[in-house]
Structure 1
Amino acid sequence: MALLQNHIAVVTGAGSGIGRAIASGYAREGARIVLLDINEKAAAEAAREIRDGNGSAESFALDVTRREDCIAVAKQVAAKVGPVSILVNNAGIARRNGMTGADAAVINDWEDIIAINLTGVFNVTHAFLPALRAGKGRIINIGSIQSFVHLRTPSSPAYTASKHGVLGFTKALAAELGKDGVRVNAIGPGFIETPLNEKVRASNPELAKVFIDHTPLGRAGKPEDIVGPAIFLASELSAYVSGSIVMVDGGYRTI
């Protein structure tokens, strides 16, 4: 039997990269997928791809920073698709600007990154929480190696703060929602080749080399590398796992 049969899974940032890979992986395991993305066209294309593979998928446009929109989408999903039992908070942005740049850029980075990467996780979770509590669901938040460390390579303190916040939010929710049978965990990707960092990889290959040289497995990750851990955390294979983060970083944090 498929590991996620009879589940309805919501994935944010599902139009590309890690979110798209997780959505496809969940569909292969029998879940009905709801793909949410600010890029409505990308989400629709990803949903169509799942349906073309005989999976079940619907897509909706969503800006996770807009709390009222999150609530409205949750109501739409409940009415059109059904009760959600899996939520993957994947939507996020990354910028590699430090704290000592131009004031306007520093402030803009902070506001945008925290709004999407941290407050967005809160907004979507809060909107779908009644369904998740009612169905003893599971929540998977996408953290980072920067949930623990601030990289020596150029990196935004706002991004590091947001991913530390995601891990803290994960632990707090796991402690609060355990009594409702809701499991809350996170995944900590390392250097994963996605559209999010495509321009940086193309313009600064030396930066990518720094990451890979520090990674014991000797390669960058692919979005598909996140799929197995995401299936594990959403399925009954992890029935007694909550409040944890599964690192998918090729061993980066071991050295």
Structure 2
Amino acid sequence: MFGDFPIENKIVLVTGGGSGIGLQLTRLASANGAKVIVADLQLTPEAQQLVENTDTVVFQRCDVRIWADLEALIQLSRDKWNDVPDVYVASAGIFEPKWASFWQDTETTRYATVDINVNHPIKLTRLAIRALLETNKKGVVCLVSSIAAFGSSLASPVYAASKHALWGFVKSMAPLDALEGVKVTSICPGLVPTPLWNTLPEFRTQYSVDQMDHVSAEEVAECMLSLIQEGKYPGGAVMEITTPGPNGRRIIPPWNVSPTQMYASRARSEELVRNLIGPVREVLKKERKAKAKL
């Protein structure tokens, strides 16, 4: 068995650690005695203060779409602490904004949502496996997913698909803890009030954010720490967390998943459905008119 894995004196790498869930996990890991590499495009003032005031927390600018940037994070760990990270957390992600939207369809070469939400965590996992095996270490990977992994969304279909992909990937990694001592897990939060919602005010209305139950980034980070440290969560463990407290959490089985309450309640509300798919219908209406003029 993989067993417990306390993070004290270990090295924790967090992509997307400059804000939101990733920042809270960084805070928690540092408070528990870990050395932390924060990888992000930039730091929020809160994260900047943490880096400046904590000797064992370092920042490395990273575009997770660039695999060389991900590899550089492991090299930074070698250079600074003469070792590779023990824990790898893929927290960076996007929620299909307009510049990377299936419906707006402005991208010309590839979907950024797939690069950031799928390719990045999968590649980080591969790099983690190689680094840990080369140094003969045990280690843990924790990928931040979403309850969208078990549902659907006409408004953000590529985002939903990206989270389904992570669920399948993590389940596929389940045997790795017994085979090679590398535990791969995932956290699937519901609505979390991160800075994302403040920077995209139109999303607040479309996704009825103020009418939905939510869970704090701090509590999500605490669940992630449990997945990382506690041996009762094996490789392949996927934890859903949708509301505060233990009743808002469940471990998702590999098969026959029942709908989460958040999806069930939204489906019953005509107002929430109208809000959600309204922008999609506007796009389709414009495209239908454009086609009719041809």
- Shared fold per TM-score greater than 0.5: yes
1:135 aligns with 2:128: no
Task: Determine the structure 2 residue equivalent to 1:6.
Answer: 9
The one-letter code sitting in structure 2 at the alignment partner of 1:183 is: K
The one-letter code sitting in structure 2 at the alignment partner of 1:90 is: S
Residue deviations 1:71-106 (CA, integer Å, cap 9, x gap): 23322222212321111111111126675x35x43x
TM-score by length of 2: 0.72
Q: 1:241 aligns with which of 226, 234, 240?
A: 234
1:220 aligns with 2:222: no
Q: CA deviation at 1:141?
A: 0.4
Task: Determine the structure 2 residue equivalent to 1:91.
Answer: 92
List aligned pairs for 1:26-175, cutoff 5 A: 26-39=29-42, 42=43, 46=47, 48-49=49-50, 52=53, 56-81=56-81, 82-95=83-96, 99=102, 101-102=103-104, 104-105=105-106, 107=107, 111-133=111-133, 134-151=136-153, 155-175=155-175
Name the CA shift for 1:95/1:110 in 2 (closer, same or farther; >3 Å). farther
Name the CA shift for 1:188/1:55 in 2 (closer, same or farther; >3 Å). farther
Identity over aligned pairs, percent: 25
Unaligned runs of 5+ in 1: 214-218
Q: CA deviation at 1:207?
A: 4.0
Unaligned runs of 5+ in 2: 249-258, 265-294
> Helix, strand or coil: the match of 2:63?
coil
In structure 1, what is the Cα distance between the partners aligned to 2:80 and 2:216? 33
In structure 2, what is the Cα distance between the partners aligned to 1:109 and 1:145? 28
In structure 1, what is the Cα distance between the partners aligned to 2:44 and 2:84? 20
The one-letter code sitting in structure 1 at the alignment partner of 2:85 is: V
In structure 2, what is the Cα distance between the partners aligned to 1:140 and 1:78? 21
Task: Determine the structure 1 residue equivalent to 2:253.
Answer: none
In structure 1, what is the Cα distance between the partners aligned to 2:231 and 2:48? 27
> Helix, strand or coil: the match of 1:36?
strand
The answer on whether the counterparts of 2:227 and 2:233 sit within 8 Å (CA) in structure 1 is: no
> Helix, strand or coil: the match of 2:193?
coil
List aligned pairs for 1:159-238, cutoff 5 A: 159-200=159-200, 202-203=201-202, 205-207=204-206, 209=208, 212-213=211-212, 219-235=213-229, 237-238=230-231
Q: CA deviation at 1:198?
A: 1.9
> Helix, strand or coil: the match of 1:174?
coil
The answer on whether the counterparts of 2:129 and 2:182 sit within 8 Å (CA) in structure 1 is: no
CA RMSD of aligned residues (A): 2.7
Task: Determine the structure 2 residue equivalent to 1:216.
Answer: none
In structure 2, what is the Cα distance between the partners aligned to 1:161 and 1:167? 10
Q: CA deviation at 1:62?
A: 1.0
> Helix, strand or coil: the match of 2:36?
strand
In structure 2, what is the Cα distance between the partners aligned to 1:43 and 1:33? 16
The answer on whether the counterparts of 1:110 and 1:158 sit within 8 Å (CA) in structure 2 is: no
- Count of aligned pairs between the two proteins: 239
Residue deviations 1:140-159 (CA, integer Å, cap 9, x gap): 000101111013xx632111
In structure 2, what is the Cα distance between the partners aligned to 1:222 and 1:26? 17
The one-letter code sitting in structure 2 at the alignment partner of 1:192 is: V
Task: Determine the structure 1 residue equivalent to 2:271.
Answer: none
> Helix, strand or coil: the match of 1:187?
strand
